[in-house]
Structure 1
Amino acid sequence: MPPAALPPRSLLLALLITFLWGVNFVVIKWSVAGASPLLVAALRFAVAAFPAVLFVPRPRVSAPILWGYGLAVGVVQFGLLYLAVQLGMSAGVASLLMQTQAFFTALLAARFLGERVTPPQMLGMTLAFGGMALIGLTAGGDVTLAGLPLTLVAALGWAVSNLLVRASGGANVFGLVIWSSLIAPLPLTLLAGLTSGWEAVADTLTTSGPAFWAAVLFMGLGNTVLGFGVWSGLIQQHGAARVAPLSLLVPVFGMLASAAFYHESFPPLKLLGAGLVLGGLVLHVRGSRLRPVRSSAD
């Protein structure tokens, strides 16, 4: 039996969060245009951590899980995503390819947790990776050969963080997001200084205008604190089966926002690739409901 529909208020909240997460890719592209992408990512997590850590209880997880989650999300997922966007990946395609974390999560869970990947999920993965190959053929312009693999590795970092959440034993995910945000700023800032130069870092911190800092606040407070706070609450109230599939709307909003703000074009080959990736994601999500999610570690 399919999950019951969400109440109107909860559905509107979920749609608002997916909209914010989709538009966020446009904000990322704008914010890294004149600044080190790694520094921008560091500022995002610094804003997400303070002052929220003063009010959100520390999650009951081990130090390796907390640090692993912070590095996987902060340095690998967002650090590489911001770098990929600066290297030419369009906001729309980046928002779509980041959703391949669902496939990486399933494959990692099969390898390390003994979970079974169903035939519909395998078909979904095949369709999606075929779509990514088509997108890769459009490289140049708003899809770059350097940005494409970086985006996929960023999605892999997201998948690793999903497994760490699974290993946390039911810890409060919102608390994990907030407290792990303390970990990312230092290594990201160090990497920014080493790659872009400390003068560029200092220049960004001292001369950036209100629009730049508004973008940082939007990414840190709007997307991380508000976004994950509301999303976690919806999942806690209604269950993941009713809420999580709505995240498939993130790349839809991301591509629409990119087309509106950056006039991103979708020629036939690129549009076909995006359709295959999105279709594969839908098939993967539906296929995951055809068997209980169990593992040898349960």
Structure 2
Amino acid sequence: MTSKRPLWLAAAPVLFLLLWSAGFPIAKIGIAHAEPMTILALRYTLVLVLLAPLALILRPPLPKSFRAGFDVAVTGFLIQVVYFGLCYLAFKSGTSSGTVAIVVCLQPILVGLLAPRFAGEPVSPRTWAGLALGLIGAGTVILSHAELKTQGPFGLICTAIALFGMTGAALYEKRFGVTQHPITANLIQYAVGAAVTLPLALWTESAPISWDWEFIAVMAYLVLGNSLLAISLLLAMIRAGEVARVSALFYLVPPLAALFAWPLLGEALAPLGWAGMGLAAVGVMLASRRARG
């Protein structure tokens, strides 16, 4: 007898994709107001400021052991520091968003290759077909939409390490992650992120923040939408489902990010990009569909 999936988990993929994808053009708007590490440090610190009073009032349970807390911290480090931090450094070094997106788009394939060994999850031929279609579709969107450039090898090295950071986070969470109270998990993960990015921002960046209503709106979205809701949904989906299928959702991020960039940044999606978006959607449906049995 199979248990019925909760409604919030069924809706989680759509909500996650919308929140995560919109964050890319919104973060690009933020870069015009502050330097990358400054944005990340401010983002993580604001999350902690919001969660600390809730933790004092609600007193959520702490991890049951040091190892459980350590596992939460490792996942947070891989996502908040390795993935986000190095992607932002790549942008700062002159690497275009298209170049970063193409490299990071390899994440579902990398997860599929490593999942049988590190998460004990075999990848079916249908899932592989979906992953391949998703990669082709997402790559089509990126190539039709973004300029591909890089200023030397530093940006590409950062992007490659960021790819392994997000891949490692997904596999680590699947293998070692256990359900924690969301306030507790977020406090640990964003404390790790702030502990690394805040010193980096202070040591390497000196440009002042351009405070106005637009930057305040950007930070509000990055804190509430990206940092609190999207990451919590992603980790919950990884724990509840097969990691390769959840990772396939990332193929829809470049198309949806391009779609959000249209009204937010005035960057229209080319006709070839629309075709790529449809192909990526078909690939994700194939890779994410649960086998009946």
Q: Shared fold (TM-score greater than 0.5)?
A: yes
User: Could you tell me which residue of structure 2 aligns to residue 208 of structure 1?
Assistant: 211
Cα distance change of structure 1 residues 124 and 103 upon mapping to structure 2, 3 Å threshold: same
User: Could you tell me which residue of structure 2 aligns to residue 24 of structure 1?
Assistant: 23
Cα distance change of structure 1 residues 26 and 59 upon mapping to structure 2, 3 Å threshold: farther
Task: Give % identity.
Answer: 25
Q: Which of the residues 159, 164, 175 maps onto 2:167?
A: 159
Contact 2:111 2:247 in 1 (8 A): no
Give, in angstroms, the shift of residue 211 of structure 1. Answer: 3.1
Give, in angstroms, the shift of residue 181 of structure 1. Answer: 0.6
Matching of residues 1-298 of structure 1 within 5 Å:
18-54=17-53, 55=55, 56-60=60-64, 62=67, 64-84=70-90, 87=94, 89=96, 101-131=107-137, 134=140, 137=143, 141-145=146-150, 153-172=161-180, 174=182, 175-194=184-203, 197-200=204-207, 203-204=208-209, 208-228=211-231, 231=233, 253-286=256-289, 289-290=290-291
Distance in structure 2 (CA, Å) of the matches to 1:223 and 1:187: 19
Distance in structure 2 (CA, Å) of the matches to 1:100 and 1:3: 33
Where 1:260 maps in the other structure, the secondary structure is helix
Distance in structure 2 (CA, Å) of the matches to 1:135 and 1:14: 20
Deviations 1:236-266 (A, max 9, x none): 9xx659xx69967765543321111222233
- 5+ residue gaps, structure 2: none
Give, in angstroms, the shift of residue 184 of structure 1. Answer: 1.0
Question: When the two structures are superposed, what TM-score results if normalisation uses the length of structure 2?
Answer: 0.71
Cα distance change of structure 1 residues 219 and 269 upon mapping to structure 2, 3 Å threshold: same
Distance in structure 1 (CA, Å) of the matches to 2:131 and 2:62: 36
Distance in structure 2 (CA, Å) of the matches to 1:46 and 1:19: 24
Task: Give me the CA root mean square deviation.
Answer: 4.4
Distance in structure 2 (CA, Å) of the matches to 1:172 and 1:37: 30
User: Could you tell me which residue of structure 2 aligns to residue 296 of structure 1?
Assistant: none
Cα distance change of structure 1 residues 223 and 96 upon mapping to structure 2, 3 Å threshold: farther
Contact 1:110 1:117 in 2 (8 A): yes
Distance in structure 1 (CA, Å) of the matches to 2:103 and 2:194: 25
Contact 1:38 1:82 in 2 (8 A): yes
Distance in structure 2 (CA, Å) of the matches to 1:102 and 1:191: 30
Distance in structure 1 (CA, Å) of the matches to 2:174 and 2:6: 25
Distance in structure 1 (CA, Å) of the matches to 2:287 and 2:11: 24
Cα distance change of structure 1 residues 246 and 109 upon mapping to structure 2, 3 Å threshold: closer
Q: What code does the residue aligned with 2:291 have?
A: L
Deviates more, 1:22-31 or 1:48-57: 48-57
Give, in angstroms, the shift of residue 154 of structure 1. Answer: 3.4
Deviations 1:129-158 (A, max 9, x none): 34455456558x544456788666534422
- 5+ residue gaps, structure 1: 293-298
Where 2:74 maps in the other structure, the secondary structure is helix
Distance in structure 1 (CA, Å) of the matches to 2:265 and 2:212: 21
Give, in angstroms, the shift of residue 177 of structure 1. Answer: 3.2
Give, in angstroms, the shift of residue 58 of structure 1. Answer: 3.3
